[in-house]
């Protein structure tokens, strides 16, 4: 069995004129992994996926997918991948069955296997009985699942999904992620981008991307525990603004920010929450209680991005 990573990127860079969309990205995704690309709009997620699919030519750096070089062997790469673009891109004027039939032909699915694969895709998308419906008449969730069905007709070992759940209602999003995990259990490597932070939790590994740069890589648990370089506390207080100012002056505080009606305070390891409370009380502030919490991925992301911005370009 081949245990080489399914996707390898080395110094992958893409410039559009003077704008650098992807900036020296290094990445390895293991076989059968569900890897998430997380980042704000315009962070370079789509560009990276398009580079890996051979739809764009990198400005510098290299990458391989399923063992094939994306610049020198783009057509072999395309045989081994499934791709779902951010914008829905099936044929609206063809029926569900006609779309599936078209992609089965394009991907040269063996003839005798076509009925079975199409039946599988239809049932996966929950479109039984609607095979004859024109695709443009389908609701968003069905369209997305059908697009996934088309992308996996040829059983590709690597699947690229670019914001597959954007604009889809929560129930349909959950169903979609169930499908992704079913595929991963069969050994398919999946790279999926999203800007929904809650979806990041469904991934085995997350790549946080901002302004074309990879800023953190790890499992959701790893990122939450280690990336911040300290312990996160949640502090209740009466006057948010004044307390925030005071907290920022306190020793051992790496970062503090308002989260809804509370403060989130990141303390250097070895600094205790009780000490902070005592200091605030000495300054005559009404604050407390304080308790250690596990940061959400959003916390981690916001922290890492703001630190990068402070560090300057």
Partner 1 sequence: MNPRRILAIAYKETLQVWRDPRSLAIALLMPLMQMVLLGYGISLDIKHVPLCLYDQENSQTSREMLRDFTASGWFKTAAILDSNRAVRAAMDNATCIGALVIPVNFSRVLAQTGQAQVQAVFDGTDANTTNIATGYAQGVIAQTAATFARRWDAQHGLRPPTAGSINLQSRVWYNETLDSRNFIIPGVVAIILALVGAQLTSLTVAREWERGTMEQLISTPVTSTELLIGKLSPYFLIGLLDAAFCLLTAAFWFHVPFRGSVLTLIFTTALFGIVVMGIGYLLSVRIHNQLGASQIALMLTMLPIAMLSGYTFPLDQMPAAIRAISFLVYARYYVTLLRDEFLKGSSLTEMASSIAALLAYAVAVLWLAARAFRKRLE
Does residue number 114 form part of the binding site for partner 1 (CB under 8 A)?
Answer: no
CA distance 66 to 5: 8
Of 94, 240, 293, 305, the one binding partner 1 by CB under 8 A: 94
Contact criterion met (CB below 8 Å) for 164 and 143: no
Decide: is 74 part of the binding site for partner 1 (CB under 8 A).
yes
Task: Pick the binder of partner 1 from 15, 20, 71, 88 (CB under 8 A).
Answer: 88
Q: What is the 3-state secondary structure (H, E, C) of 10-76?
A: EEEEEEECCEEEEEEEEEEECCCCEEEEECCCCCCHHHHHHHHCCCCCCCEEEEEECCEECCCCHHH
The yes or no reply on residue 83 touching partner 1 (CB under 8 A) is yes
Q: Is 233 in the site for partner 1 (CB under 8 A)?
A: no
What's the burial of 25, exposed, middle or buried (CB within 10 Å: 0-12/13-18/19+)? Answer: buried
Of 58 and 230, which CB lies nearer to partner 1 in the complex structure?
58
Nearest to 245 by CA among 299, 302, 272, 283: 283
One character per residue 28-67, x = contact with partner 1 (rule: CB under 8 A): ----------------------x--xxxxx----------
- Which residue in the set 65, 70, 81, 152 belongs to the binding site for partner 1 (CB under 8 A)? 81
Structure tokens belonging to residue 307 = 């630190």
Rule CB under 8 A: choose which of 4, 106, 258, 294 binds partner 1. 106
Q: What are phi and psi of 312, to 5 degrees?
A: 85, 160
Nearer to partner 1, 27 or 53 (CB): 53
Tell me if 117 contacts partner 1 by CB under 8 A.
no
Judged by CB under 8 A, the number of residues near partner 1 is 32
Contact 258, 244 (CB under 8 A): yes
d(CA 123, CA 130): 10
* 61 neighbors 25 (Cβ within 8 angstroms): yes
- How far the first Cα of the chain sits from its last, in Å, is 44
Give yes or no for residue 69 binding partner 1 (CB under 8 A). Answer: no
Separation of alpha carbons 279 and 247, rounded Å = 9
22 binds partner 1 per the rule CB under 8 A: no
Backbone angles phi, psi at 44, to 5 degrees: 110, 10
Site for partner 1 in 147-206 (CB under 8 A): 147, 150
The verdict on 120 binding partner 1 (CB under 8 A) reads no
The residue (of 103 and 202) whose beta carbon lies closer to partner 1 is 103
Among 3, 18, 41, 87, binds partner 1 (CB under 8 A): 87
In terms of Cα–Cα distance, which of 241, 228, 252 is closest to 287?
A: 241
Q: Closest approach of Cβ 104 to partner 1, in Å?
A: 8
Q: At its nearest, how many Å lie between partner 1 and the CB of residue 164? A: 13
Point out which span in 22-30, 61-69, 81-89, 117-125 binds partner 1 (CB under 8 A).
81-89
Q: Is 143 a residue that touches partner 1 (CB under 8 A)?
A: no
Where on the chain is the footprint of partner 1 (CB under 8 A)? Answer: 50, 53-57, 74-75, 78-79, 81, 83, 85, 87-94, 98, 101-108, 147, 150
């Amino acid at each position: 069995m081949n245990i080489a990573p399914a996707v390898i990127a080395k110094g992958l860079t893409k410039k559009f004129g003077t704008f650098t969309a992807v900036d020296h990205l290094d990445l390895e995704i293991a076989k059968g992994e569900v890897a998430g690309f997380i980042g704000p709009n315009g962070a370079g997620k789509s560009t990276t996926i398009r580079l890996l699919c051979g739809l764009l030519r990198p400005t510098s750096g290299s990458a391989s997918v399923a063992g094939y070089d994306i610049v020198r062997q783009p057509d072999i790469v395309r045989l081994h991948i499934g791709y779902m673009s951010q914008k829905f891109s099936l044929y609206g004027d063809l029926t569900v069955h006609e779309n599936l039939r078209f992609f089965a032909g394009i991907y040269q699915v063996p003839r005798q296997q076509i009925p079975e694969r199409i039946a599988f895709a239809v049932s996966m998308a929950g479109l039984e009985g609607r095979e004859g419906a024109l695709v443009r008449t389908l609701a968003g969730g069905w369209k997305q699942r059908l697009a996934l069905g088309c992308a996996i007709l040829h059983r590709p070992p690597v699947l690229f999904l670019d914001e597959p759940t954007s604009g889809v209602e929560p129930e349909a999003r959950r169903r979609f992620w169930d499908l992704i995990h079913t595929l991963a259990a069969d050994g398919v490597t999946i790279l999926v981008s999203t800007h929904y932070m809650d979806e990041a939790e469904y991934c085995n590994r997350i790549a946080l991307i901002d302004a074309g740069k990879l800023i953190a890589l790890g499992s959701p648990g790893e990122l939450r525990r280690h990336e911040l370089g300290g312990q996160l506390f949640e502090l209740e207080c009466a006057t948010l603004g004044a307390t925030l100012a005071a907290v920022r002056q306190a020793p051992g505080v790496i970062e503090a920010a308002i989260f809804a009606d509370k403060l989130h305070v990141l303390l250097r390891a070895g600094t205790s929450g009780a000490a902070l409370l005592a200091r605030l009380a000495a300054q005559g502030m009404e604050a407390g209680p304080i308790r250690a919490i596990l940061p959400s991925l959003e916390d981690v992301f916001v922290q890492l991005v703001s630190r990068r911005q402070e560090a300057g370009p």
